[in-house]
Structure 1
Amino acid sequence: MRRDDMLRPDGSRGYYDSVVAQPAVTILAVDDRRLVAVTRQWICVHGEPQWRLPAGRVDTFDGTPRAAAKRELAEETGIRADDWRALGSINCADSLTNHRDHAFLAMGLTSGGERRLEPGEADLVLHWLPVEQVVEMVLAGDLPHAGSTFAVLTAQVRGLL
């Protein structure tokens, strides 16, 4: 948490409270059959299991968001990708936090690697869903994670799916 003493645009003084967070990555991994890697796990801050694309924070040792995306995809799914495309980034809840999510499209997938889940991810289950179903999940509000929604819609609008 951070509290800033600030000068507002109208010239008055005040405080602004915010949460400082590390950047994150979200990966839209699509295989040759047009199936998308989608995870389902308990999300503590929302108090329920949710659908989302593989995602995680950018650690200081990663160096770049792309490196973090490669690591997170391998850790959560055991998948590696040959083709990586940056889809852009999104500010998440920017009236509350500086949190920024970098989205990537991963293709040319190779599976079979060992998953390395963190203790808080022990319930993470990987599903392979058709692209069309994932787009419908976004439109229905069933994939509420901001980075996931951004990645799917951006790739769809750009004709990458």
Structure 2
Amino acid sequence: MTEDSLAWETAEREVAYRCPGFDIVHEDVVLPDGTETDFDYLADDPAVAILPFTPDGDVVLVEEWRQAVERVNRALPAGGVEGEDVDLETAARRELAEETGYEAESVDFLCEFEPANGISDAVFHYFVARGCEPTAEQDLDFDESIRVRTESYDDLLEAVLADEVRDGRTALGVMRYELGGQ
């Protein structure tokens, strides 16, 4: 069986719900066996996540309130690509500065993932930023509640491995970096 024989045919597509940050898309689809059904998914703009290192090797993190899970999460700075971003690196630099007040000497692409492609079209583009210094001002969105902190990379890795970091973007980025992104 080839991959094409698994493809669904989209008969109709509409945005069922629109809100700041994402849309919910409703599709009428035809499955490979001819079954007609519907499918809903979260449509999201591309996003960047940054693993930012200070000159002394600490990682710059954010602690952010996440309403859906009703707790503060320790996480990598991350956010959506915006219209004025000329490329993904520009978006990574902007998000780092906006969320943390840190600016990077260098920013290098690490990887990209579709973290929940069964329910969303979201794509996360990961970058490693080095030489990060607090030379900018935080410029948070109206709905962001963020505290900035630094910690050693080893402590962050240990927290990921001990299931203390619940943010999936962060855990995925740290594990990918550890497995060969250095």
TM beyond 0.5: yes
How many residues align structurally?
159
In the alignment, which residue of structure 1 is the partner of 2:164? 142
Q: Is the 8 A contact 1:102 1:147 kept in 2?
A: no
Q: Report the 3-state secondary structure (helix = DSSP H, G, I; strand = E; otherwise coil) of the residue aligned with 2:43.
A: coil
Matching residue within 119, 122, 128 for 1:99: 122
Structure 1 moving runs of 4+ over 6 Å: none
Alignment correspondent of 2:132: 109
Q: Secondary structure at the match of 2:55?
A: coil
Q: Per-residue deviation at 1:9?
A: 2.7
| Deviation, structure 1 residue 37 | 0.6
| Aligned pair partner of 1:18 in 41, 57, 63 | 41
Structure 1 position 159, deviation (Å): 5.6
Does residue 1:55 correspond to 2:110, yes or no? no
Q: Which runs of 5+ in 1 are unaligned?
A: none
Partner-residue secondary structure (3-state), 1:158: helix
Q: When you count helix as a share of all residues, which structure comes out higher?
A: 1
Higher relative contact order (CA 8 A, sep 6+): 1
1:80·1:109 contact (CA, 8 Å) conserved in 2? yes
How far, CA to CA, are the matches of 2:181 and 2:120 in structure 1?
A: 31
Of residues 66, 88, 91, the one that matches 1:65 is 88
> Following superposition of structure 1 onto structure 2, how do residues 77-88 of structure 1 map, counting pairs within 5 Å?
77-88=100-111
Residue by residue, what CA displacement relative to the aligned partner does 1:6-35 show, whole Å, maximum 9, x if unpaired? 121333121111111111111100122221
Report Cα offsets for 1:58-117 as digits up to 9, x if no partner. 112213221111100011111111211111111122111111111100002232221111
2:181 & 2:39 partners in 1: Cα distance? 40
Task: Give the AA of the match of 1:4.
Answer: E
Aligned-residue sequence identity (percent) comes to 28
In structure 2, what is the Cα distance between the partners aligned to 1:63 and 1:11?
A: 42
- Aligned: 1:74 with 2:94: no
Cα RMSD of the aligned pairs, angstroms, is 1.4
Unaligned runs of 5+ in 2: 1-23
Partner of 1:151: 173
Distance in 2 of aligned mates of 1:159 and 1:4: 37
Cα distance in 2 for partners of 1:125, 1:147 equals 18
Equivalent position amino acid for 2:87 in 1: T
Question: Residues 4 and 17 of structure 1 are in contact (CA less than 8 Å); yes or no, is this contact kept in structure 2?
Answer: yes
Deviation, structure 1 residue 143: 2.1
The structure with the larger Rg is 2
Q: 1:55 to 1:39 in 2, by over 3 A?
A: same
The answer to whether the 8 Å contact 2:50/2:78 transfers is yes
Q: Which residue of 1 aligns with 2:21?
A: none
